[in-house]
Amino acid sequence: MPSILRSLLATIVGAAGLIAASPAPGPLPQRPNILLIVTDDQGYGDASGFAPTDVETPTLDRIARAGVRFTQFRVNPLCAPTRASLLTGLDSLATGMWRGPSEPGRAEARGKAKATAKVGRRPATEDPEDSTPDRGEPRRIRAGIRLLPELLREAGYATGLFGKWHLGYAPEESPNARGFDEFVGFLGGAHPYSLRANSRLRENGGPLAAEGHTTDVFADRAARFIRRQRDQPFFCYVAFNAVHGPLRSKEREADSALPRWLEHYAGRGLSPERRDYNAVLSHADQRIGGLLDLLGELGLTERTLVICHSDNGGITHTYPANNGPLRGGKGQTFEGGIRVPAVAQWPGVIPAGWTSRADAAHYDLFATMLAAAGLTVPARNGSHVVQGIDLLPHLRSGGQAALPERYQFWDLYGQCGALRGPWKLVGTIDNHHGRFGLAADAAERTPFVLFNLEQDLGETRDLSAEQPVIYADLKARHVAWLRQYAETPRAR
């Protein structure tokens, strides 16, 4: 045998021996705490551990060093569908939250907003995510679907949400009605950062009079919750509105960041818009770091699973978000709209300092957090099969336990996407307003494009003509996915 082959064989055998000799993961700590942090509209390139960037996110880097960095973690291209999926284990069409929730009186508010727009102004409270008129019944999470905090609370967890909800406005759709013992935040899709008399923050069932900056309010209240619940398992969901608008833009000459963070980015040659954006994001990153420090102070670091990710890609047509090498952004099914920075740590359970390139997704977190808590992941939620899978075997093995290859699908009122392995299908049909039978018909007759993400991360070369079998398979499955919701009763 040639010496080079003997050397290669010895290397392979030696590596296999190391793997075999590695101790198998022990039992999970019982009833760990869970800290889930979701940022808003943070692009893939707006985290220093994911792409070259001018924004500093040392806390996200800190979590990645202590645990895992996901480079192919995907969500929905809009925030409410993502939040619904991660709390239910279902895709957005199954949850009924295929777009932002219907808001009572929204039609009247849109009329006022249009009138304001005619004179060149836009109210700070207007949320573009809720700007499409309703067709048919209101959008809400379907009847019979249970949320993660409901299941955790039944298992003895204290549950708290601090920040953005955006999953319903009616009393029966409120965070407290859906499993949270404590809620401090806002119900809608956006909120100004500086708190004034027109604040819409709420504490549990009533208005909250608060001063300061939303990032500090949410982090402070989360810290108080953790301190109070230190002796029992808790689920703490921190949903910052950073870096969602309103931010400085060409149409809005006002900063949302605190002066000290604007000064931090002074003199770096950034545009005023990018300076405000970076300052808001770094402020949130620092407050995440403070929560990690608190876990350490209380001796809870090894007993707490921490997960942090963005709800969708960065918005680039209004604000100067950075999606790195990815095409597109928020509202689109190109990778820039659905692939986001994500990190997790659980010392002693998740090995430190490795990178997962698995196709993990937002709805996997539902199953993962339930499994971490020692609970059985339900086969169904409401009338639909739970699509999310438990990531813990993958995470505990440092990636040696691969995720199963699977199909994933996206739709955002006509922005379509499908994925299996490296193959990605993208297409656009007319806005169907939730009429999924019409959407399936339109998708069936509309040409889509096909990309190989391993060879073309920027999604620039259409391979549909060169790979007709793969194209036909992904297209047919996406159409079938849409069509299964054509006869599904709308949320009641």
Please spell the DSSP secondary structure of 104-122, one letter per residue: TTHHHHHHHHHHHHTTT--
Same-domain status, 344 and 476: no
Does the structure show a pLDDT above 60 at 22? no
In CATH, what number is assigned to the domain containing residue 412? Answer: 3.30.1120.10
**Residue 133: what residue type?**
P
Find the DSSP H helices in 33-78.
58-66
Domain membership of residue 492 (yes or no) is: no
Same-domain status, 140 and 265: yes
| Residue 264 domain boundaries | 33-396
Q: Is 335 helix (H, G, I), strand (E, B) or coil?
A: helix
Q: Is 252 helix (H, G, I), strand (E, B) or coil?
A: strand
Same-domain status, 145 and 252: yes
Same-domain status, 342 and 437: no
Same-domain status, 445 and 386: no
Nearest to 343 by CA among 373, 307, 377, 316: 307
Task: Name the token pair of 138.
Answer: 């209101």
Domain membership of residue 58 (yes or no) is: yes
Angstrom distance (rounded) from CA 130 to CA 169: 13
Q: What is the pLDDT of residues 135-174, one digit of tens each?
A: 555 789 999 999 999 999 999 999 999 999 999 999 999 9
Q: What is the pLDDT of residues 168-186, one digit of tens each?
A: 999 999 999 999 999 999 9
Q: What is the pLDDT of residues 25-34, one digit of tens each?
A: 678 888 999 9
The secondary structure of residue 74, as a DSSP letter, is: B
Q: At what angle do helices 364-372 and 79-88 cross, to 10 degrees?
A: 40
Full-model pTM: 0.90
Domain membership of residue 17 (yes or no) is: no
Task: Name the token pair of 360.
Answer: 């993990």
Among 336, 364, 396, residue at a domain's last position = 396
Count up the domains in the chain and report the number: 2
Domain membership of residue 26 (yes or no) is: no
Q: What is the pLDDT of residues 287-339, one digit of tens each?
A: 999 999 999 999 999 999 999 999 999 999 899 999 999 999 999 999 999 99
Same-domain status, 419 and 316: no
Q: What are φ and ψ of residue 386, in 5° steps?
A: -65, 120
Same-domain status, 420 and 386: no
Domain membership of residue 175 (yes or no) is: yes
The secondary structure of residue 403, as a DSSP letter, is: P
In CATH, what number is assigned to the domain containing residue 305? Answer: 3.40.720.10
Same-domain status, 306 and 206: yes
Domain membership of residue 109 (yes or no) is: yes
Among 363, 396, 429, residue at a domain's last position = 396
pLDDT-based confidence at residue 114 (cuts at 50, 70, 90): very low
Same-domain status, 429 and 347: no
Same-domain status, 61 and 194: yes
Q: Strand ranges (DSSP E) for 197-351?
A: 202-203, 206-207, 212-213, 234-239, 304-310, 342-345
Q: State the pLDDT at residue 28.
A: 86
Cis? peptide before 243, omega within 30° of 0: yes
Domain membership of residue 491 (yes or no) is: no
Domain membership of residue 163 (yes or no) is: yes
Element (H, E) at 68: strand 68-70
Cα distances from 144 to residues 377, 380, 381, in angstroms, run 16, 10, 7
Among 396, 419, 434, residue at a domain's last position = 396
The terminus-to-terminus CA distance of the chain in angstroms comes to 71
Q: What are φ and ψ of residue 339, in 5° steps?
A: -95, 125
Element (H, E) at 66: helix 58-66
Catalytic residues: 79, 166
HSE at residue 363, side-chain half, CA atoms within 13 A, is: 22
Same-domain status, 292 and 326: yes
Task: Name the token pair of 123.
Answer: 């109210």
Same-domain status, 329 and 413: no
